[in-house]
Structure 1
Amino acid sequence: MVKKWMSGLVLVSVLGTAVLTGCSSDSGEKNTASNDAGKSSASASNDNFHPEGLPIVDKTVTLNALTIRWGNMGDSFAKNAWLQELEKNSNVKINWQVISNTDWETQKSVMLASGKMPDIIVGDMAFGDADIMNNLSLFRPLDDYIDQYMPNLKAAMAEMPDLKKLSTFPDGKVYSLPARLPSRPYSSIQPVINKAWLDKLGLKEPETLDDLYKVLKAFKEQDPNDNGVLDEIPYSDTKDVDMNLFAPFGITDIRNNHMMLKDGKLEYIPTSDAYKAGIAWVNKLYSEGLIDKETFTQDNTMLTAKRQNPDAALVGFSYQWTPDAVFGPWSKQYVTIAPISGPDGKKYQVGDPNGLSFRRNELLITTACKYPEIAARWADQFYTGEASIQNFWGAIGTSISKNDDGTYSLMDPPEGTSADAWYWDSSLRDFGPKYVSPEFEKKIKLDPATGDGLKLQLDNLGKDYVTQPFPDVMYTVEEYEEMPTLTTDIENYIKSTRAKWITQGGIDEEWDSYVKQLNDMGLQKLIQIYSDAYDRYQNVK
């Protein structure tokens, strides 16, 4: 766990875990949690509080905020000049508790069991829908706060009703705040290949499965990194994303729940004909040594060591956000290509034809917070165009230039740093409340050669082939109670069987018994839950 605290740290030990709880003023007033999540505390009538304008309070109030970051990213985002100016202008200080996602699951269980909560939770990686639904007493309904104290968010919801739809839980209340990220593509990860290797071997970018097979085989056998050793790895991935090679078969599971929409109908991927055909294809690659033998066991650290091997590039083909993001000193050798066409001659791209912009659960106010109005007003400051871009890329003057014509452009990242890594270091990035309207988005000028501008440029290769994903539905408390019992065994069985079939073969002989076993585990009941949630989502007005 990262233990870097900003703005006057208050550290409380709960069951051996570092957790920030409650909110306070600098006068040292002791906090107690509200017993009524739906009602305001006394802070609204307090002379210290201003329901509009800045500062939010006259006398400084401290809020304890928890956020989860990837790996060892730490709290560098808190140096963002916009966040520091907001603290100065609002008189609301934030004690940031930053926990690595690798440590969070254990910490989360302790926190929920103890009920010892910080004032606000920032970012959707902290608590998902099920965490919130199963612990509603810990989180405040925010409808009244949005109506009274959040004019920026209220206006955004009026302009884009999907924000309200996305944020409304099955009981009809809003417990978490949404985000609309700026300048998002339609495509998620895209196929990336070592262009230097292709040129060395006189090969063209692959367009079909047959093309890809021939290219991977040449990568393995013809020493394209030119180091005199056949150490090339045609394709490598990790156990968590080993489904990428299934994309040409129309399998694009962006929700990671195995559900797809095919011709307007729901389909469960692991029992589909496309899945069976994809397994057979990937088994062929594996049996001929064209897939890294450690794909099903290695973690990101092991994979990064291969991608950034100091002596020579080792990996030929991959699926990435942008080609400059993971290959370190070899990044310039890689290019993004159009989706590989499948057996039916069609191309399929993982993504969302509505754009990868909308999020929920980006900020929660807990019932431990003594001054929820202050927390709500602080959060509302994020829902302007300028605030949002500064919390996505970095502050104006640091990462963003505000031009004389009213447009905004991104500065170049430091030498040796990818643009994407720099933005994560400089801002909350994907996490936290944001709203960039389509009109404001027109003012953002991105360099097509790097970072998010590059991603939008690369998106042109795949956006026309993006499949319609299963929507981001919500489930009832009863469904959440039932789903883990079903999904745990089913998911483990699917993963272990997939790994076995890819590495050892046997899918044709074992397919029928595999499907029967899934049904015996309750698969049809699970599919019904997905179907019911989908129907509710479709019927929301």
Structure 2
Amino acid sequence: MGTNNKKRPHHLKWAFSIMMAAILLLNLAGCSGSKNNEAKTDTEAAFNREGLPIVNEPITLDVLTVRWGNMGDTFLQNQWLKDLEKETNVKINWQIMSSNDWGEQKSIMLASGTLPDIIFGDIVFSDSDIVNNLSYFRPLDDYIDQYMPNLKAALEETPEMKKMSTFPDGKIYSLPARLPSRPKASIQPIINQTWLDKLGLDVPDNTDELYEVFKAFKDKDPNGNGKADEIPVSGSGNISMDLLNPFGITDINANSMMVIDNEPVYYPVTENYKEAIKWAHKLYSEGLIDQEIFTQDSTMSTAKHQNPDAALIGFSNQWVPDAVFGKWKDQYIAIPSIAGPDGKRYQGGEPQGMSLRRNEFLITTSNKHPEVSARWADQFYTNEASIQNFWGAIGTVIQKNDDGTFTLMNPPEGTSADAWYWEQSVRDFGPKYVSPSFEKNIILDETTGDGLKLVIDKLGSDYVTTPFPNVMYSAEEFQELPTLTTDIDGFVGTTRAKWISEGNIDAEWDAYVKKLNDMGLERLIEIRKEAYQRYISVK
């Protein structure tokens, strides 16, 4: 037939081509118009664009996730995950790695280019890992549009998720998450209430009152052991930037950037920062800040916070009051954000809630079932799925009530709530979305864990500043950034320690700013601003 075809007149060949094209189009139309809207995957298992199961015949996907330390695979007993496999016909071959040795394994995997079908959880690959290896990952915009109605609705309700997930080329390669019942405020001031009571002092409201409380803590033996061993403020390596919050300095991403009047600002060269350091020097020079704060490591600092004989530390900035104080934890309370010299309060955090994550789910280019993978991931983006993948399954960890509310059960005896949640779920990792309007249906124990943090949050949530967002950098920017930040951050940190311990900031300020500019500060700020502009321009 091929030989005869060559001898056909041109107009007959043209007619034959049109006829074959028409037959092909009719076949395609017939497939897409079938009742159950099926298409064939590479395994010839029928794929359903809507409804469950996702595929009519079971298929297996390889999914890599990383867990903290020795957490292991207990989360696989989560009943929701078990039910998902039955309902979707998508069987998961979980490849579970420990964070302890993932760094080396990751380098080998990226160098070889041999990746599993799906990457699950933002601990697996960082922004730079993904940006520098984009050829390994599928752009997901079309999959979201065609196969992920739950995620699509979430992105419309919370546009910030789309902004933070859009890469410099304008595409989405990794999927975001919104965790449930997260606070707006990050680290809150924590003070020793027992010491305040013993000395007849009120909770300090502003920096002047805090200074007077610190002096009383140091001089008046509030722990009652007859020794002058009280330390109002301690820490390790450098001063906590949260101590400088009252001066308008907040930095939840530890990149020395803030957004002030809708403009990115590098705060270590601002007047606010200078005044904050002067105040910290005053505290240090009077022995109100641990004199070993710049030389001791975290082990030494922890030993002081948990000293077995008597409480030694008066004040700290922590997530919750019982975070670091060991047997003395019940002496401490969270207090409202401290007012600064301008009378205002500034609190580090996220006005929309500290709940948004990216890089929680990636589909690799070696994955032969991207549509199936996208639909599988979309099952995680409902309210009920998300709370079960953050705390644990309904019936195991969560009680579903007749009135539409959900109550977290108490953990087994001898287990903390947080440890139980990690055991029973993927917890912080993986795709999930809880709508802000749904959170009123979640009933948490206000005396511990996540529920306690939401109670504490009321002390600072009204004062949360707008943080410099979690922007995305290009491969070229990632090449420049490490050199710039290593030199600049190092110099800023050592200079901060020197000024707090020795003073003299006014005399040395101009030379400090000049040296930062010589190190490339202007270029660093330019990179940050360009990334910020890309971020806010995403629609």
Q: TM-score w.r.t. structure 2 length? A: 0.85
Amino acid at match of 2:91: V
Tell me by how many angstroms 1:407 deviates. Answer: 0.6
Alignment partners' CA distance in 2, 1:293 and 1:50: 66
Q: Please, what is the CA RMSD of the aligned residues?
A: 2.7
Which whole-Å CA distance do the structure 2 matches of 1:360 and 1:452 have between them?
A: 21
* 287-296 or 130-139, which deviates more: 287-296
Counterpart-to-counterpart distance in 1, 2:81 and 2:209 = 50
> Structure 1 residue 72: deviation in Å?
5.1
What is the CA deviation profile of residues 480-516 of structure 1, one whole-angstrom value per residue up to 9, with x for unaligned ones?
A: 2222221121111111222222233332232211111
Answer whether contact 2:249 2:267 (CA < 8 A) is retained.
Answer: yes
- Sequence identity of aligned pairs in percent? 64
Please identify, of 182-191 and 141-150, the stretch whose mean Cα deviation from structure 2 is larger: 141-150
Q: Map residues 288-367 of structure 1 onto 2, 5 A cutoff.
A: 288-367=286-365
1:61-460 alignment, distance < 5 Å = 61-69=60-68, 73-90=71-88, 91-100=90-99, 103-239=101-237, 242-415=240-413, 417-460=415-458
Per the alignment, in what secondary structure is the counterpart of residue 458 of structure 2? helix
User: 1:225 is aligned with what amino acid?
Assistant: N
Query: What displacement does 1:239 show?
Result: 3.4
Determine if contact 1:242/1:295 at 8 Å carries over to the other structure. no
Question: What secondary structure, in the 3-state scheme, does the structure 1 residue paired with 2:337 have?
Answer: coil
Alpha-carbon displacement from aligned partner over 1:368-409 (angstroms, at most 9, x marks no partner) = 434333433332221111111112222222322111111111
Distance 1:120 1:298 in 2: 42
Q: Distance in 2 between matches of 1:452 and 1:475?
A: 32
Q: Structure 1 pair 304/148, CA: closer, same or farther in 2 (3 Å)?
A: farther
- For 1:76 and 1:308, how far apart are their aligned partners in 2? 31
Decide whether aligned partners of structure 1 residues 119 and 291 sit closer, same or farther in structure 2, where only a CA change above 3 A counts.
farther
Alignment counterpart, residue 486 of structure 1, candidates 484, 487, 499 = 484
| Counterparts in 2 of 1:535 and 1:393: CA distance versus 1, 3 Å | same
- Partner of 1:340: helix, strand, or coil? coil
Paired residue secondary structure (2:84): helix
Q: Distance in 1 between matches of 2:415 and 2:306?
A: 14
Q: What SS class does the counterpart of residue 537 from structure 1 fall into?
A: helix
Using the alignment, how far apart are the partners of 2:445 and 2:49 within structure 1?
A: 40
Q: Residues 63 and 228 from structure 1, CA distance in 2 versus in 1: closer, same or farther, beyond 3 angstroms?
A: farther
| Cross-structure match for 2:493 | 495
**Range moving further from structure 2, 472-481 or 492-501:** 472-481
Spell out the pairing of 1:18-29 with structure 2 (5 A cutoff): none
After TM superposition, give the deviation of residue 421 of structure 1 in Å: 4.3
* Aligned CA distance change for structure 1 residues 161 and 275 (closer, same or farther; 3 Å): closer
Structure 1 residues 178 and 464: alpha-carbon distance in aligned structure 2, compared to 1, 3 A threshold? same
Contact 1:56 1:92 in 2 (8 A): no
How far off its partner does 1:460 sit? 1.5
Shift of 1:359: 1.8
Aligned pair count reads 499
Kindly indicate whether residue 485 of structure 2 is the aligned counterpart of residue 476 of structure 1. no
User: Which residue of 1 is the match for residue 3 of structure 2?
Assistant: none
The amino acid of 1:206's aligned partner reads P
Secondary structure of the 1:461 match is coil
Determine if contact 2:163/2:536 at 8 Å carries over to the other structure. no
Any idea what the Cα deviations from partners look like across 1:445-497, whole Å, max 9, x if unmatched?
23333322222222221111111112222233322222222112111111122
Q: TM-score, normalized by length of structure 1?
A: 0.84
Deviation at 1:326, TM superposition (A): 3.4
Kept in 2, the 8 Å contact 1:153–1:383? The answer is: yes
How far is the alpha carbon of 1:262 from its aligned partner? 2.0
* Structure 2 letter corresponding to 1:289: G
**Which sits farther off after the overlay, 211-220 or 484-493?**
211-220
Distance change in 2, residues 1:240/1:421 (3 Å): farther
1:87 and 1:94 in contact (8 A); partners too: no
Shift of the 50–166 alpha-carbon distance from structure 1 to 2, 3 Å rule, reads same
Shifted more, 405-414 versus 120-129: the winner is 120-129
2:467 partner SS: coil
Distance 1:320 1:111 in 2: 37
Q: Which runs of 5+ in 1 are unaligned?
A: 1-40
Distance 1:50 1:315, change over 3 A: farther
Aligned residues of 2:71 and 2:98 also touching (Cα < 8 A): no
Partner of 2:526: 528
Match of 2:12 in 1: none
Shift in alpha-carbon separation, 1:394–1:302, aligned structure 2, 3 A? farther
